[in-house]
Structure 1
């Protein structure tokens, strides 16, 4: 199956304006923008036919083109990354069998997360959408809870059934458990990784439905698929020793840079 990765990026982020152009510094001390690091992560994925940056901002377009990225200009009316992906695919007339949305705030996404995601879609023809989930250690669960206690919107968690079909996604830490966990203990909480793979038909329909009630409450675009009864496949991925976090708030910059230092990322 042919695969395209689309990286939606907007400048006017509510929580962090200009986020795609924020620089992250690795072990060399040289800064590279968030959008460039996300593009490089996409380019490293095996068996991908095309990588597109989709944006509505000329500053992001000019910067992305400066390091060789292909860019699709989209409207300012897209309400989220999925709508922006749908618009880019339609505008460019792309006919790939799987469209991957690698959101531009997750530059530490390992290549195998996306490769496993595509594999999951190929193995489950009934899935309209697929998204990776990562089992939280006790330490990661504690970080998610600390963010919520501090009033920060941190990571998203997912719950799913025995068939791996997504039941719900939330910015709260779910499922609740009163159990205690050590830093390295596995927990029943799964961190949702902000990457999606879509069937083109489901992606094309998505913008026509309008924003869902739960989607509006949580601010989570994938809930629109659940509210419409579409199958969202949760693909469990393994960290393999890699640390993972998304850049949601300015306070996440030093956290990501520290992770890059520990993992030896330039």
Structure 2
């Protein structure tokens, strides 16, 4: 029997690189609406967790569920945990879907949930291999988080820097080693959420500004599922322009069928 699932989308207005990002227009719809629609396609309950009345009102306006949370949270997962405490209904699995992932695919969510077929899985996330022809400048972009994984499918480290370093090589890096891009989707067994909530911020987390390093530093194992499907995370206004162009192409392709 499949576990019961709740998808929580953390969304805040005060982004450093892109203020108001959740409400940014994507061809006639706010981005947060497109993320909610993607998440809802899996059939799970979807809740937007925010600390901003504008986002709350927007989500309510298109008929989705939203909850107001504290403005003091250090990370998106902290916000999701509070939201689960407020509106959770005993679901076994909580998905944290980043509010800047409007192109996440149902198949990717299903792949992530499959990690919980293994009883030992407590936390899971997704990774996508960079193509061998990925330009070095794109690979080294600090807005693109890289993931290093072990032979048993567990995360060893996440970084904005390029890891591992290839000694003696400075170009065409993807042709000589398989690098992995981290996809902004996590899943947790809800019985460990109180433990995660109690963890202090770790030096690694603060250095990289990556919340998942807090869990690794505390000894939690993060299972990694692979996806061959590409997605476009949106961190900056330039990313939004590229995302809108991609969306236009998708809609044009559908209309031509």
> What's the TM-score, normalizing by structure 2?
0.90
Alpha carbon RMSD of aligned pairs, Å?
2.1
CA drift at 1:182: 9.8
**Contact in 2 for aligned 1:135/1:186 (Cα 8 Å):** no
Compare 157-166 and 186-195 and name the one that shifted more: 186-195
CA drift at 1:179: 7.8
Q: Hey, what does 2:162 align to over in structure 1?
A: 173
In structure 2, relative to structure 1, the CA distance for the partners of 1:181 and 1:7 (3 Å cut) is same
- How many residue pairs get aligned? The number is 249
**Contact in 1 for aligned 2:49/2:66 (Cα 8 Å):** yes
In structure 2, relative to structure 1, the CA distance for the partners of 1:140 and 1:60 (3 Å cut) is farther
Cα distance in 2 for partners of 1:33, 1:211 equals 32
Asked whether 1:238 is paired with 2:228, we answer yes
CA drift at 1:143: 5.2
Q: Hey, what does 2:242 align to over in structure 1?
A: 255
**Contact in 2 for aligned 1:20/1:60 (Cα 8 Å):** yes
- Give every structure 1 segment of 4 or more consecutive aligned residues whose post-TM-superposition deviation is greater than 6 Å: none
Q: Hey, what does 2:102 align to over in structure 1?
A: 107
CA drift at 1:203: 2.2
In structure 2, relative to structure 1, the CA distance for the partners of 1:55 and 1:139 (3 Å cut) is farther
Cα distance in 2 for partners of 1:64, 1:230 equals 33
In structure 2, relative to structure 1, the CA distance for the partners of 1:32 and 1:201 (3 Å cut) is same
In structure 2, which of residues 130, 133, 157 is the aligned counterpart of residue 136 of structure 1? Answer: 130
In structure 2, relative to structure 1, the CA distance for the partners of 1:253 and 1:18 (3 Å cut) is same
Q: Hey, what does 2:26 align to over in structure 1?
A: 24
**Contact in 2 for aligned 1:137/1:187 (Cα 8 Å):** no
In structure 2, which of residues 7, 11, 14 is the aligned counterpart of residue 12 of structure 1? Answer: 14
Structure 2 unaligned spans of 5+: none
In structure 2, relative to structure 1, the CA distance for the partners of 1:63 and 1:197 (3 Å cut) is same
Q: Secondary structure at the match of 1:137?
A: coil
Cα distance in 1 for partners of 2:242, 2:144 equals 13
Structure 1 unaligned spans of 5+: 26-30, 148-152
In structure 1, which of residues 202, 207, 210 is the aligned counterpart of residue 200 of structure 2? Answer: 210
